Structure 1
Amino acid sequence: MADIRSRIASRADLPGARLRSVRAQAQAMQVSVSTVVEAYERLAAEGVIVSRPGSGFYVAGPVAPLALSRIGPKIDREVDPLWISRQSLENEADVLKPGCGWLPSDWLYEEGMRRALRSQARADTLELTDYATPLGHPELRRFLSRRLMGNGIEAPPEQIMLTDSGTQAIDLICRYLLQPGDTVLVDDPCYFNFHALLKAHRVKAVGVPYTPAGPDVEAFGAALQEHAPRLYITNSGLHNPTGAVLSPVTAHRILKLADSSDLVIVEDDIFADLEVNPAPRLAAFDGLSRVIQIGSFSKTISASVRCGYIAAQADRIDSLADLKLATSFSGSRLAADLVLRALTDSGYRKHMEAVRLRLAEQMAKTITRLATIGIKPWLVPQAGMFLWCRLPHGADAAGVARACLEEKVVLAPGNAFSQSLSARDFVRFNVAQSGDDRIFKVLARALQRRAGIVSV
């Protein structure tokens, strides 16, 4: 009964869909026929399914409300991507959040934002009150075109569309290219919200193991052959959660493999301003032929001002603009203008230099502190905020996260990032959010308790 309810809640079985025959269901679940008959009869009595004599049992009622938490394998809530987001966003101020994915508020460009707000208050009335154009703020798009050129990506302003966020950018691309049941490749591990978003689009996600130089090329090629995926979503610079950087050799091999398929690659470049030495970009090698690049500014300017972008072929941008109009009508003209003013402010470059230096210092301190309790990084990143670490003695990260939450410390356990659920003993640490000594004391106690449970 729980299995059938789950399939209906996840929309795997829609109203009118015929359930397996009693015998087929009994064989699939390795239970007796009488057990299935009883389950079906109870569900029919509840009105969940209906019986049609001589034909079988069918799903009843309207389409179930979409429940993302019930799509995919049943796992502990502590490794659920949406659980981590909820804990990081909803908890009170005294909760420590080394598992969150953003910089502390006082690390962001607060002074530049205040200057931008003062300047914006004196702006033309249209900037304060009117809808944005379909592609978004023309000046910001021209600025982004020049900025992308700095990474070798040729994207004129008419091939750039502003969005409300990086997440909206991916959502629009998924709406544009995917149908329910399509396959999407993701890195394993990858940013956990990719998993949640793909569930919402009812597509099949397939993980490709990630190495210190980028995706495993052999596994990537095998996945192309076996699954014929429509999309591949990745970070090239400062990979989330591992902190790895794509190598030029791997980039060329991935694009060469993709040439023999219908694959479209979505390259999320949200951490560009945290890099010390820019990594290779698939969009630069590819010339935006099969690669679509996205980004946003919530990680460095302000998470309160939601503004992202998509850079792609002109025909794709045209179709994506129609989708944006259909789903949100217009982006935020006010937010785009604020972001432009902040990015072109004379202090932004120096601010980011200070942030990168501060992250490097905090990275070294966090590695040293973790080492004292037996936690080692998978690799030492060149830059950025993330450390991907293995817990000692194969400790269960979900159990450790549950124990730490009791003491008001939010962790990000590895399996939230892993499509294959193969990162049970990994945790992602945000070094910018790991400056409080209490984090390491709580973590040490949690590891000791879990070690005691394992030994028993």
Structure 2
Amino acid sequence: MERQTRTEKVTEAIRGRIAGRSLQPGDRLPSIRRFAQTMKVSPATVVEAYDRLAAEGVIRSRPGSGFFVCGPAAPFTISDLEPELDRAIDPFWVSRQSLDADTQMPKPGCGWLPADWMPNTVIRKALRGLARADDAVLSDYGGTRGALNLRRFLSRQFADEGLRAGPDQILLTGSGTQAIDLICRFLLRPGDRVVVDDPCYFNFQALLKAHQVEIIGVPYTPQGPDADGFAKALNEHRPRLYITNCALHNPTGATISPQTAYQVLTAAAEHNVTIVEDDIFAAFEPEPSPRLASLEGLDRVIRIGSFSKTLSASIRCGYIAARQDWIEALIDLQVATNFGGPSPFAAELVYSALSSSGYRKHMEALHRRLAGARSEVSMNLKRFGIAPWFVPRGGFYLWCRLPSGLDSACVARAALEEKLVLAPGNVFSPSQSNGAFMRFNVSQMGEPRVFDIIARAFLACA
């Protein structure tokens, strides 16, 4: 039974790559030995999986050359709008369940704060101010770089941490996800390789699959990416990009150490790899931690971020900070795909809120509230034998190991039957090696029934 399960795991991995267009008709599959190492199975298991796929006509064998994809590629789509209990637990799974869930449905697996934890009073005050804004702010397209006052605000924030980036080196985007998408369009071509952390934010994987690139995972430690594994991946795979969170890493909550940051930057320089640093959780840190962009500058590092976690997920606005010649090229891409920058209304609203004293007071109170929630949820999870892998310095995630023998995907499916959204470990893992882990959002776990459902899900999967 175990061998059959592993074989099916390999066949589904290949089907997923074909569906996601990272493997297209005529492409050669990874060698048996290499894919066995990637999937952490025996070469015999990969041979059996390839033979099954060949028998089904999905791939074909060329003696002496290997296995190749045959037939037309499946379209890259997300088929139905309603949540599906039986769909594959992949990088889209948590996003779809969380976004489509009823507003009253508990969502410990989602990636945002509850609405009543957000600075809504600050936003309403900013909205009243914008009601008196010029007609152009309410009606016109935005400029190609985005609102100058918000770019100046970000430039000053970056200067405080030692990063020199003038307003002309900052491009406002429609969201943080759009920022990554623009960078991928600019720097990547189908078949390129990109390094990510293992585990990493699941939408990094989903977006990279859409760009038809090969994802290379590097194990993540409490000090950042495994330095030796990172150097080895760069030497062996010659990737174009490394995409990461440095501050309060998603999903682990860890923060890169100065020593690891130096080793990562040294290896990236040696192999001419560009680093995309997603700084979306920076405001949740009690004190600033090392930043790759601050240490290296913007020659090799691109800084991205947005305001969806601290201000509002409804007011969409992100940014890219990069070398100026790249910003010029990214502007053209944004014009082509979005006809201008983000909504000037959204950008002005973000600036007005961020620059207010009310927002600063809100963040101070939020730090205290999250610290209390992390402590309380940790104690409640301990009753079920769930232990944090790492105790984060801030933020709202706890990356936890489940009791021995429990599979987090099974637990997540059982919980969803009772209308509770959880985030199983393997949606974050390129290597599918985190089945014993789960990410909990402590801000979404205030209802006692959350723990009752988790207890019943454990029993169902024991």
TM range (shorter): 0.7 to 0.9
- Please tell me whether residue 332 in structure 1 is matched to residue 325 in structure 2: no
**What is the alpha-carbon distance in structure 1 between the residues aligned to residue 222 and residue 305 of structure 2?**
22
Is the 8 Å Cα contact of residues 23 and 69 (structure 2) preserved in structure 1?
no
CA-CA distance at 1:341 after TM superposition: 0.5
CA distance in 2, matches of 1:13, 1:366: 42
Query: What is aligned with 1:291?
Result: 301
2:99 to 86, 89, 99: 89
- Tell me which amino acid in the other structure corresponds to 2:409: A
Q: In the aligned structure 2, how far is the partner of 1:441 from the partner of 1:19?
A: 48
Whether 1:244 and 2:254 are equivalent positions in the alignment is yes
Provide the rounded CA distance (Å) in 1 between the counterparts of 2:198 and 2:304: 20
- Conserved 8 A contact 2:22-2:214: no
Single out whichever of 344-353 and 3-12 deviates more from structure 2: 3-12
Instruction: Work out which of the two has the higher radius of gyration on C-alpha atoms and give 1 or 2.
Output: 1
**Would you say 1:135 and 2:160 are equivalent positions?**
no
| Amino acid in the other structure paired with 1:123 | A
C-alpha contact 2:21 2:210 (8 A) present in aligned 1: no
Query: For residues 90-111 of structure 1, what are the alpha-carbon distances to aligned partners after superposition, in whole Å with 9 as ceiling and x for unaligned?
Result: 1112311000000000111101
Q: Over the residues paired in the alignment, what is the CA RMSD in angstroms?
A: 2.7
1:280 equivalenced with 2:293 (yes/no) = no
1:22-43 CA-to-partner distances (Å, cap 9, x unmatched) read xxxxxx966999x96x866xx9
Q: For residue 226 of structure 2, what is the aligned residue in structure 1?
A: 216
Q: Which residue of 1 aligns with 2:170?
A: 160
Q: Report if the CA contact (8 A) 1:68-1:196 is conserved.
A: no
Q: Is the 8 A contact 1:169 1:294 kept in 2?
A: yes
Q: Name the structure 1 match of 2:387.
A: 376
Deviations 1:353-375 (A, max 9, x none): 01111000000000000001110
Matched, 1:115 2:125: yes
Q: How does 1:9-408 map to 2 (within 5 A)?
A: 9-11=19-21, 17=26, 64-67=74-77, 77=87, 79-330=89-340, 331-408=342-419
TM-score (norm. length: structure 2): 0.85
Please tell me the residue identity of whatever aligns with 2:272.
D
Match of 1:52 in 2: none
Shift of 1:67: 3.8
Note the C-alpha offset of 1:258.
Answer: 1.1
Q: Judge conservation of contact 1:68–1:199 (CA < 8 Å) in 2.
A: no
Amino-acid identity (%)? 56
Instruction: Report if the CA contact (8 A) 1:270-1:295 is conserved.
Output: yes
C-alpha distance in 1 between matches for 2:49 and 2:153: 63
Q: Once the 2 structures are TM-superposed, how far is the Cα of residue 129 of structure 1 from its aligned partner?
A: 1.2
Aligned to 1:413: 424
Aligned counterparts of 1:18 and 1:347: Cα–Cα separation in 2: 55
CA contact (8 A) 1:217 1:250 kept: yes
Residue 286 of structure 1 aligns with an amino acid whose one-letter code is E
Structure 1 residues 59 and 81, CA gap change in structure 2 (3 angstroms): closer
Moved over 6 A (4+): 2-8, 57-61
- Aligned partner of residue 412 in structure 2, secondary structure: helix
User: What is the alpha-carbon distance in structure 1 between the residues aligned to residue 237 and residue 269 of structure 2?
Assistant: 15
The TM-score, its normalising length taken from structure 1, stands at 0.87
Distance verdict in 2 for CA 1:78–1:361, change over 3 Å? farther
Gaps of 5+ in 1: 21-27, 44-48, 50-56, 70-75, 452-456
Counterpart of 1:392 in 2: which secondary structure? coil
Over residues 309-363 of structure 1, what are the superposed CA-to-partner deviations in whole Å (9 max), with x where a residue is unaligned?
0000001111111110111111211100100010011211000001111000000
Q: Quick one: distance in 2 between partners of 1:448 and 1:14?
A: 42
- What is the Cα deviation at residue 440 of structure 1? 1.0
Q: Distance in 2 between matches of 1:18 and 1:115?
A: 55
Question: Cα–Cα, structure 1 residues 5 and 117, in superposed 2: closer, same or farther, change >3 Å?
Answer: same
SS at match of 1:347: helix
Aligned to 1:435: 446
Give the 3-state SS of the residue equivalent to 1:259 in structure 2.
helix
- Contact between 2:21 and 2:209, CA under 8 Å: does it hold in 1? no
The secondary structure found in structure 2 opposite 1:81 is coil
Structure 1 residues 6 and 222 mapped into 2: Cα distance closer, same or farther (>3 Å)?
A: closer
- Structure 1 residues 12, 412: closer, same or farther in 2, change over 3 A? closer
1:424 alignment partner AA: G
Work out the CA distance in 2 between the residues paired with 1:323 and 1:142. 22
Contact 2:173-2:318 within 8 A present in 1 as well: yes
Q: 1:375 to 1:120 in 2, by over 3 A?
A: same
Whether contact under 8 Å (1:268, 1:295) holds in the other structure is yes
CA contact (8 A) 2:248 2:255 kept: yes
Q: Give 1:6 shift.
A: 7.0
Alpha-carbon distance between aligned partners in 2 of 1:177 and 1:31, rounded to the nearest angstrom: 34
Supply the distance in 1 between the matched residues of 2:207 and 2:324 (Cα, whole angstroms).
25
